[in-house]
Amino acid sequence: MKPRKLVMIPGPTPVVRSIQNQMGRETVAFGDLGFINDYKELLKDMKELWKTEGEVFVIAGTGTMAMEMGIANTLKSGDNLLIVSNGFFGDRFIDLAERKGINVDVISSEWGKIVPIEDIEAKLNEKKYDGITVTHVDTSTGVCAPIKEIGEMLKKFPETIYIVDGVCATAAEPEYVDDMNIDILITGSQKAFGVAPGLAIVWAGSKAMEKRKELGRIPEYYIDFDKWLPIMQDPSKYFATPAVNMIWALKESVRIIKEEGIENRYERHSKNAKAMQAALEAMGFTLLADKDHRAVTLSNVLYMEGVNDLEFRKILGEEGVVVAGGLAAYAGKMFRLGHMGNIDIHDMVSTIASIERALYRSGIEVELGKGVGTLMAELLK
């Protein structure tokens, strides 16, 4: 009998039954009064949980579209943008910005490390930057950037729009828009929210909304804040058809978050990540990210000598767990393991046990039970 497969990639993440049930509901008209109230309640919760007096946009789309939405509504051709890149997805902002005629400077870290805050501040002092982008968690490296501390430093540069890519962080790593001096926070539904792909989410603080007013008419249509703002303020209005069932699914995810308590959710992710990472190291793996800056949402796991990436991931899939491969220079040298959202202790134990079995089948010397034992010891502290 084949084992049930756990999809433990850095997103999409496993979707629990109550969220699946919302996705499977009979679809109603977007003007249905019940749906309008559900949409309105969701938007209110999103603003309150992520603490902003500004706006939140929840629309059909992807995390990449949310990135483009953040750029398009705050920056124009000829503006200067500083991109702080901790890996592959930080670099994605380069193409997004250059296509809009924005002048781009990039400050990058060695993969596995952060860009030091003092280096960012020194770069900002070189010339006037209209915006800065920081990827909170880059899934290519498993590095978590210190966005709170960067936001505090940016108070010295009040004219610079602070854009945070929270795609693989939001709902798992602490993020508070106004408290952390964030102007734009972007994410998608399919990572730590534990919802299927399909929704782009953008929080825009007061400074970002003022910037949008200053820009006037922008070339973009679907992702224009001004097109969506009337709907976000009154979902009974229409601009483009909302993803009805996905809105319900996200609303259920937010209900789960509120029931758990968002601070408790952050603490759970931190504890789970430390346990998973300790278990992986106990089995003989090393992790790409520096220990002081490891994300809680995923681990980027470097192979020990003698492991063939494609063969190992094939065997691991046969043992019931799907992980992602490494990117760029680390392709074939590591796998990427997601551990975020609504996964529970059963998922984690099964994952570590499956990795142990896959190592054993790959001919790698492994003490069976050591990874699981380490995981349990950490989780039960």
Is the separation of the CB atoms in 311 and 327 below 8 Å? no
For 233, the enclosing helix (H) or strand (E) is helix 225-233
Strand 80-85 vs strand 131-135: parallel, antiparallel, or unpaired? parallel
CA 354 to chain centre: 25
CB 63 within 8 A of CB 92: no
Q: What is the amino acid identity at position 66? A: A
Please name the residues in contact with 180: beta carbons below 8 A apart, sequence gap of 6 or more. 147, 148, 151, 152
Q: Residues 275, 277, 278, CA angle at the centre, nearest 5°?
A: 65
Residue with tokens 């602490």, as numbered in its chain:
174
- 336 among annotated binding-site residues: yes
Is residue 195 a contact partner of residue 189, using CB atoms and an 8 Å limit? Answer: yes
Q: Label residue 327 left, alpha or beta by phi (over 0 means left) and psi (-120 to 50 means alpha).
A: beta
Question: Could you tell me which residues are beta bridge partners of residue 80?
Answer: 103
For residues 349 and 83, what is the distance between their CA atoms, to the nearest angstrom?
38
Distances (CA, A) of 304 to 287, 360, 373: 11, 13, 20
Q: HSE on the CB side for 379, CA within 13 Å?
A: 18
Using CA atoms, how far apart are residues 39 and 276, in angstroms rounded to an integer? 36
| Contacts of range 180-186, beta carbons closer than 8 Å, 24 or more positions apart | 180/147, 180/148, 180/151, 180/152, 181/151, 181/152, 181/154, 181/155, 182/147, 182/151, 183/74, 183/207, 183/208, 183/211, 184/70, 184/73, 184/74, 184/208, 185/50, 186/63, 186/66, 186/67, 186/69, 186/70
Alpha-carbon 5 to chain mean position: 23
Neighbours of 176 (CB within 10 A): 18
Annotated binding site for substrate: 336
Residues of the binding site: 336
